[in-house]
Amino acid sequence: MSVKIKDASVPVIPFKARLSRWFGRNLLRIYMVFGFTYLFIPVAYTFAFSFNDSGKSNLVWKGFTFRNWQNPCGAPEVCTALGNSIKIGFLATLFSTILGTLIAFAIGRYKFKGRSTSNLLIFLPMATPEIVLGASLLSLFLVFKINPGFWPTVIAHVMFCISFVVVTVKARIASLDPRLEQAAMDLYANEIETFRRVTLPLVAPGIAGAALLAFSLSFDDFIITNFNSGTLITFPKFVYVSAARGIPAQANVIGSAMFFLALAIVVAGQLVNRKKSR
């Protein structure tokens, strides 16, 4: 490296150079602002139009009102759809988190024959386009004369959520220092106690994250749901179907409410974590 020796007086940097230097230093930050604006434009639009005094079609701004927020179930079927989505999301999260966590522990904690095949089986559903997953499952249901509907949709969601749960939990398990479990064993905790008092609490944030991911994947899924839900209407299906003739502002209310709720959960989680580590 070269060392430049200047005279002792503080060098004066010309304004133009200073400006370009500031720009160079903050280029990425400026970019970040644009990036996030891009990400949030439709969210902001959805939120803004939840206050539109729109009547039937929510395409053009017609005036400000709180009515949609006061009566979110005002549009026909919108709350039924929401209820179905929440129920399906809850069940799919529950089952996929349990099944996926078990698999993650098997793959992350043990060396056994067929481990790489297991990894492949977890990877495949993620590498398969949703439309193929949805269509193939529907074909199977049709063969067994099972009508599409609530439970087939839950099954479909569990199926595509498992892999994501496995990957998330496995990453957490992999980052766990094996010496912690050895230390517990060394300190008179048997296998079950070691799992309960050391392994599980340390993996728990990973499991919680996986569950949150599973719920949002399930709640937001349209393609697979569309194939397996039959006449049952879920929230994304409701939006898709009504997109053609104009989405009621109540859907914007629900979308925005979900957004803020999820944000609140994440922020609360972060705060709890921070408090814990303090």
Partner 1 sequence: MKVSLPKSRVPYLLLFPGFAFLFTFFILPIINLAQTSTQTPVSGGDTGEYEQTFAFSNYVHAFLDNREQFARSFIFAALATIFALTIAYPLAYAIAFKSGKYKNVLLVLVVAPFFTSFLLRTVAWKQILGEEGFLVPTLRNLHLLGQQTTVTSTAFAVVAGMTYNFLPFMTLPLYASLERIDPRTIEAAGDLYANGITTFRKVTVPLSLPGVVAGTLLTFIPAAGDYVNAAILGSPNTKMIGNVIESRYFKIVDYPTAAALSFTLMAAILILVTLYIRKAGTEELV
Partner 2 sequence: MGKGVSAGTRQLVSIEPIEARGDLRLTRITKSYGDFKAVDDLTLTIPKGSFFALLGPSGCGKTTTLRMVAGLEEPTVGSIHLGETDITTTRAYQRPINTVFQNYALFPHLTIFENIAFGLRRRGIKDVNEQVAKVLSLVELPHLADRKPTQLSGGQQQRIALARAIVNRPALLLLDEPLGALDLKLRRQMQIELKWIQREVGLTFVHVTHDQEEAMTMADTIAVMSEGKIEQMGSPADLYDNPQTTFVANFLGQSNLIKGRIDGGDGDNLVVDLFGQKIAMPKSRSHAIDNSLYAGIRPEKFRISRVGSPVRGNTLTGGRVEDVSYIGVSTQYVVAMPWGQELMIFEQNDDGVPPFDKDEEVVISWEPGFTFGLRGDEDIEAGTEVEPEEQAE
Q: Does 259 bind partner 1 (CB under 8 A)?
A: yes
Q: Does 185 bind partner 2 (CB under 8 A)?
A: yes
Give the other-Cβ count within 10 Å of 142's Cβ: 11
Exactly one of 132, 180, 187, 204 binds partner 1 (CB under 8 A); which one? 132
Instruction: Quote the CA–CA distance of 189 and 183 in Å, as a whole number.
Output: 9
Instruction: Quote the CA–CA distance of 45 and 73 in Å, as a whole number.
Output: 20
**Cβ 198 to partner 2, closest distance in Å?**
6
Q: Which two tokens stand for residue 90?
A: 């809850």
Sites for partner 1 among residues 44-103 (CB under 8 A): 45-46, 49, 59-60, 98-100, 102-103
Backbone angles phi, psi at 47, to 5 degrees: -65, -50
Angle of CA points 215, 220, 225, to nearest 5°: 100
Sites for partner 1 among residues 215-244 (CB under 8 A): 216, 219-220, 222-223, 226-227, 235-236, 239-240, 243
Sites for partner 2 among residues 202-231 (CB under 8 A): 202
Q: How far is residue 81 from each of residues 89, 104, 234, 272, measured CA to CA in Å?
A: 12, 33, 4, 32
For partner 2, the closer of residues 76 and 191 by Cβ is 191
Is residue 235 exposed (0-12), middle (13-18) or buried (19+ Cβ within 10 Å)? buried
Q: Does 182 bind partner 2 (CB under 8 A)?
A: yes
Exactly one of 147, 175, 190, 270 binds partner 2 (CB under 8 A); which one? 190
Applying CB under 8 A, the span of 90-98, 187-195, 235-243, 259-267 interacting with partner 2 comes to 187-195
**Cβ 9 to partner 1, closest distance in Å?**
28
Applying CB under 8 A, the span of 12-20, 62-70, 71-79, 112-120 interacting with partner 1 comes to 112-120
Q: Which two tokens stand for residue 69?
A: 């927020």
